[in-house]
């Protein structure tokens, strides 16, 4: 009789174990499905197709066509980008990336994708910005208290930025 009781408890435990394993397999499969479904939704937005009917058109019209047929919005400064400039693109259904490459092949304007925005910038202004960033100044000095003693561990931050240092033993 004792043998039957042990066998019966083993059967119950085995049944519970198989049920638990079945639940774990199903859960793993569902999590796997959800994760890869979310990854599949991320499409390469620059491959969005746009239909262009004219081969030569003003930049303003090209921007309007792309904004109407896609979710993109263009960001630019009027002073940097001449919207009445005529650009040449091949007509037909092309990706936004290909159209912008053709339109700005002369190199006067550069573009950059950021989320649903396309920022346009005059390529000359980028060079000027780069030169301004390169011209760094080295500033030296010491931080002292009212008695002229150096202050150890004082924070010195460049105004308008997050650049900063902490003073050493010499202030």
Phi and psi at 148, nearest 5°, equal 90, 5
Both tokens assigned to 39: 């990854």
Quote the pLDDT of residue 42.
45
Provide the percentage of residues in the chain whose pLDDT is more than 70.
Answer: 79
Quote the pLDDT of residue 10.
62
Beta strands, E only, 17-116: 49-52, 56-58, 73-75, 86-88, 92-95, 109-114
| Residue 61 binned pLDDT confidence (cut-offs 50, 70, 90) | very high
Query: Whole-number mean pLDDT of the chain?
Result: 79
Is the separation of the CB atoms in 52 and 15 below 8 Å? no
For residue 137, the Cα-to-chain-centroid distance in whole angstroms is 31
């Amino acid at each position: 009789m004792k043998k039957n009781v042990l066998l019966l408890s083993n059967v119950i435990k085995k049944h519970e174990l198989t049920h638990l394993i079945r639940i774990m397999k199903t859960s793993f499969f569902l999590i796997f499905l959800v994760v890869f479904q979310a990854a599949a939704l991320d499409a390469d937005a620059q491959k969005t197709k746009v239909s262009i009917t004219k081969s030569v058109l003003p930049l303003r019209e090209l921007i309007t066509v792309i904004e109407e047929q896609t979710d993109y919005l263009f960001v630019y400064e009027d002073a940097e980008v001449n919207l009445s400039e005529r650009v040449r693109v091949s007509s037909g259904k092309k990706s936004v990336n290909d159209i912008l490459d053709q339109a700005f092949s002369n190199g006067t304007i550069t573009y950059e994708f950021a989320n649903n925005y396309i920022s346009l910038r005059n390529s000359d202004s980028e060079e000027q910005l780069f030169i301004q960033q390169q011209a760094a100044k080295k500033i030296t000095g010491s931080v002292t208290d009212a008695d002229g003693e150096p202050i150890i561990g004082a924070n010195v931050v460049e105004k308008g930025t997050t650049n900063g240092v902490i003073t050493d033993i010499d202030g």
